[in-house]
Chain A
Amino acid sequence: MAKFHIPKSNRPVPLLEPRIVTLTVLMFMILGVVSIRLYYLQALHHQENVELADRNRIRLQRVPAPRGLVFDRNHRPLVDTRPSFDAQIVPEDSDNLSLTIERLARYTGADQIADKISDADEAGRPPYEPITVAERLGWQQVVALEAHQLDLPGVSLQITPARHYLYGQLAAHLLGYVGEVTMSDLKAHDDYHMGDEIGKFGLERVWESFLRGDAGGQEIEVDAVGRRLRVLKEIADTPGESIVMTIDLNLQQAAEQAMAGKNGAFVALDPRNGDVLAMVSHPAFDPDIFGGGVKASAWKELMTDPNHPLQNRVIQGIYPPGSTFKIVDSIAGLQEGTLKPDTTYTCPGGMWFGGREYHCWRKQGHGTIELHDAIVRSCDVYFYNVGQKLGVDRIAKWSNQMGLGLKTGIDLDHENPGTIPSSAWKQKRFHERWYPAETLSVAIGQGYVATTPLQMAQVAAQVANGGIRYKPQFVKYVEGLDGNIAKSYSPVIENRIKIDPDALEDVKDAMADVVNGAGGTAHKAHLDDVVVCGKTGTAQVVGDKGPSGEDETEDKTPEQFKDHAWFIAFAPKDHPTIAAACIIEHGGHGGSASAPIIHDVFQRYFQLNPPPPKPEIARVLEDNSQ
């Protein structure tokens, strides 16, 4: 090997030569391997490592977008978003954390600050990541924090958008509320993050995707221990879209006022399209308390309240419809042909069936009467006969046709479909055959029959509009950020019954006389310039106390055993524009407890929407044109 190189005479160390060369080659090979490794890391895996380096240093600070607003049908705001001052703490920046916590608690009145910090740390909070420990601070608390800033190392004020319900409890069940995302929310939606706000109930929940908007944020550079160094990038948020509802603030206020101090439900629909004009469930709750971390005590109070303020009675409360169900009997009988407007039955004050007597609420009886009087005076015996003729299955068929026993499909959670019994239903439910005597109870809306106030409002609306069942809707349209309509909701027809117009007119006449005629049970719903049609009902609270009473004489039953008072109505009689149902729990009689509420709301409605001055002339003109 050596002889290839320099002549041997010039080489003082010929013996070393081959091994030095071998060694050099070996060293260069190793450096070659290192170069290949560098090429692998820096050329082939460059992007991947850039991302890893950025993930090391860039932390995303989300800034929630202001939630969309909610307006009534006339674009008056119902819900908006306002700045809220929250206190945050970075424990790493506080040299004496327990002292800082103690002072912070004193200035803000916030409790469990230390718990919140340890909870966040357990959940894997990175160092120097702030924790919100007190939310929605009042002006005095904000001033106290500002003034004592030097005593509170690591504490800062953060301004975040917070939900504000302009009218407190008004339409609380319809509007719903927002709250902080839970672990299950986070699992269900991967675009939510810890601490985000999410619609929990009502409109806030169902229209969440429109209202939420897209959070903005800041890219913040942090060092290896997590200290924030500078803002690298700001990403603007996109506010949520607004919702324009079908409810009318003035009408809703009138309904809330009429229902004040009472437990029960009220709902008004537009029979021409299914729009919800007002919806009240009492007792209600204050949706503001859910924002910014609901206080444990307030939550417990709501959950344990025996009156269930969180329940939306309009769609979740199920009650026997009582005598309001006689309207369903009438439609069913007329449709099946087992009943004619001039069909007569004699009421002696009761009826013997299957070996026992079924009473009419009027012990002295109603004598021999036709359908009109039977509705006006709410004769039980007449409808025992109607029901008997129909049989339970035909009653069930027409009840279902009118939407009873089915969900209305309103865009709210936890709607209860109620119960409409049939022989098949009983077989399935109790493995027992149907006894004909049970049909009598069903005919007067008792027994197994259970309906929601919204379903009964639909019954009134179907009589009003001639048999069209609309899906009840409370959102008119979604308003985009540019102020244009982003999505509108047109009426949805769920079902259409062809009712003989003359027969329907007879039922309407009778319902008009319930309010306006002699012997009617709901004179308290009478309006001077508009013909209101209605039907009262009484839902029994305690078992088999006897047939439904329509007596106006005051009941001496203790409050909690008093019957629930129903009233369903629509107006004006011709070309109706509003239909409603009202139930007052333990209100006693429909005529005395519920009719006045519908009276007040309808009165307000016709003040806001005056009916055509002379409907008779209008009708004449219409007839001539045909």
Chain B
Amino acid sequence: MAAGDRRFILHFDWTLFILVLALAGIGLVSVISASYGGRKIIDPLVIRQLIWIAAGTAALLVAVLVDYRALQAYAYPFYVLVIGLLIAVMVAGHATGGSRRWINLGAFHLEPSELAKLAVVLVMVRYLREEPPKGGWGLQHLIVPFVLLGIPAALVLKQPDLGTGLVLVLITITLVFVAGLNWRTMLVLAVAGMLAAPLSWHYLKPYQRQRLVSFINPQADPLGSGYHIIQSEIAIGAGGPFGKGFLKGTQARLNFLPEQSTDFIFAVFAEEFGLAGALLLLALYASVIARGAWIARHARDRFGALLAVGLTAIVFWQVAVNIGMATGMLPVVGITLPLVSYGGSSLIAMMAAMGILISINTRRYLF
């Protein structure tokens, strides 16, 4: 074990670890800006975020120490636990703003949707770790992944949490694609998806439809549902090339931005640090993704490779959907910016995921 420890430190993925801490640091700065009301710089929210970062770092290190291969055994039990939590949310969840997303644990509000992403990645990878038959996975092999995705997705959509539901679907598609779905099936699914899209309109809640309408034409109701998109675009645009400067963003300080410490934190950051800051943030994410892809390609086993792809996909899709939404390219769906948005569940789950990624990289030398 002693030799192992030394090798462990030697092969610890410092690059990814530093990238994660840098993102968490940007998150902390942005939470300070988002919670700044003109007087006190250190809001209780900032202290809590600091605690979450510390807890997240601990979770990351624990995850690194765990041999990721052991996770194969825990995939289904963890999945069942998360499903149980999602059901608990429905029954006894804490509701804010028309949706029921949290379980009150006294000091901590647990958001099981954040864990659902990890759970879905684990079970998918657990299922897809088998080598596909010649010619790739076909439609008939997708029944199990469809059910594995369907249960948590349905529960999350019921909250309703459109954003997490969307990310679960995107992660599953990504994994199935990488795991070797054959092209014919992909074509069939694409056509089916296009046909189903208009049908899904029927199942959307009125406010969700409203958001879609606002996305297509925000000025249709600038003070209503179009408000979020408009204010967010204004904040980002007003940042300009180099930003207004730390704590100088007016859109956030004067509360014109909605959900400014969580879903719209990107707008807060982009207003104060401009295009330069926003591109730096994107570069950090791109580095995490590149690193994740590299780890996937160099993993020792198929489970590790797919797991790395799944965890990277969580980061990527959340970034794409969140920033796409903040910049007005996608309709408003509640989703956090990984490692940056305020929130314990999201931050700890995401840092644990990054720990698993580091673990995959580190263990490539250990066995």
Interface of A toward B, CB cutoff 8 Å: 11-13, 15-17, 19-21, 23-24, 27-28, 30-31, 33-35, 37-39, 41-43, 45-46, 48-50, 52-54, 56-57, 221-225, 229
Contact = CB atoms under 8 A, between A and B. Distances in A.
B237 A42 contact: yes
B239 interface: yes
Contacts of A20: 178, 293, 296-297, 305, 309
B342 to A, nearest CB: 19
Nearest to A42: B275
Given A16-B309, A53-B251, A224-B255, 11 more contacts: A12-B299, A13-B296, A16-B180, A20-B296, A20-B297, A31-B286, A35-B282, A45-B237, A53-B250, A56-B250, A223-B254
A53 B235 contact: yes
Contacts of A15: 131-132, 180
Contacts of B179: 16
A57 B256 contact: yes
A41 B289 contact: no
A30 B318 CA distance: 12
A16 B285 CA distance: 22
Sort A-B residue pairs by CB-CB distance and give the 7 closest, nearest first.
A49-B237, A53-B238, A224-B255, A42-B275, A223-B254, A46-B240, A41-B237
A38 B290 contact: no
A46 B324 CA distance: 18
B302 interface: yes
Nearest to A12: B300
Interface string B149-165: 00000000000000000
Chain A contact residues, majority secondary structure: helix
Contacts of A38: 236, 270, 275, 278-279, 282, 327
A42 B234 contact: no
Instruction: Indicate the member of B238, B286, B316, B319 with the most A CB atoms within 10 Å.
Output: B238
27 contacts: A11-B297, A12-B302, A13-B299, A16-B305, A17-B297, A20-B178, A20-B293, A20-B296, A20-B297, A23-B178, A23-B309, A31-B289, A31-B319, A35-B279, A38-B275, A41-B233, A41-B237, A42-B275, A42-B278, A43-B240, A43-B275, A46-B239, A46-B241, A52-B238, A54-B250, A224-B255, A224-B256
A507 B89 CA distance: 110
B298 to A, nearest CB: 8
Interface residues of B, number: 52
Contacts of A41: 233, 236-237, 327
Contacts of B320: 27, 30-31, 34
Given A23-B178, A37-B327, A56 B275 contact: no
A19 B38 CA distance: 50
Contacts of A45: 237
Interface string B119-138: 00000000000011000000
A52 B250 CA distance: 11
Interface in B262-304: 270-271, 274-275, 278-279, 282, 285-286, 289-290, 293, 296-297, 299-302
A53 B232 CA distance: 10
A301 B306 CA distance: 90
Chain B contact residues, majority secondary structure: helix
Interface in B329-364: 329
Nearest to A17: B297
A46 B290 CA distance: 31
Nearest to A222: B254
B365 interface: no
Nearest to B303: A13
B174 interface: yes
Contact of B255 (A13, A42, A221, A225): A225
A228 to B, nearest CB: 11
Given A16-B302, A31-B286, A224-B254, A53 B234 contact: yes
Contact of A57 (B239, B250, B323): B250
Interface in B238-262: 238-241, 250-251, 254-256
B14 interface: no
A56 B306 CA distance: 47
Contacts of B301: 12-13
A31 B239 CA distance: 19
B178 A19 contact: yes
Contacts of B271: 53
A42 B236 CA distance: 6
B259 to A, nearest CB: 13
A511 to B, nearest CB: 76
Contact of B254 (A33, A49, A57): A57
Nearest to A30: B320
Contacts of A28: 286, 289
Contacts of A49: 233-238
B177 interface: yes
A45 B316 CA distance: 27
Contact of B302 (A13, A34, A48, A54): A13
B296 A19 contact: no
Given A35-B279, A37-B329, A16 B289 contact: no
Contact of B237 (A11, A46, A222): A46
A12 B129 CA distance: 13
Contacts of B178: 16, 19-20, 23
Contacts of B240: 42-43, 46, 50
Contacts of A43: 240-241, 275
A12 B305 contact: yes
A35 B281 CA distance: 11
A27 B306 contact: no
A43 B274 CA distance: 9
Contacts of B275: 38-39, 42-43
Contacts of A225: 255
Given A15-B180, A20-B293, A221-B254, A31 B282 contact: yes
A56 B239 contact: no
A24 B233 contact: no
Contacts of A27: 289, 293, 316, 320
Given A12-B302, A15-B180, A34 B286 contact: no
Contact of A42 (B177, B270, B296): B270
B305 to A, nearest CB: 4
A31 B305 CA distance: 23
A227 to B, nearest CB: 9
Contacts of A16: 178-180, 296-297, 302, 305-306, 309
Contacts of A30: 316, 320
Contacts of B293: 20-21, 23-24, 27
Contact of A13 (B132, B231, B254, B297): B297
Nearest to B177: A19
A33 B293 CA distance: 20
Contacts of A37: 327-329
Contacts of A42: 236-237, 239-241, 270, 274-275, 278
Instruction: Indicate the member of B180, B254, B278, B302 with the most A CB atoms within 10 Å.
Output: B254
Contacts of B274: 42
A17 B301 CA distance: 12
B297 A52 contact: no
A426 to B, nearest CB: 64
Nearest to A16: B305
B124 to A, nearest CB: 14
B266 to A, nearest CB: 10
B365 to A, nearest CB: 13
Contact of A24 (B289, B324, B327): B289
Contacts of B256: 53, 56-57, 223-224
A41 B274 CA distance: 10
A38 B235 CA distance: 12
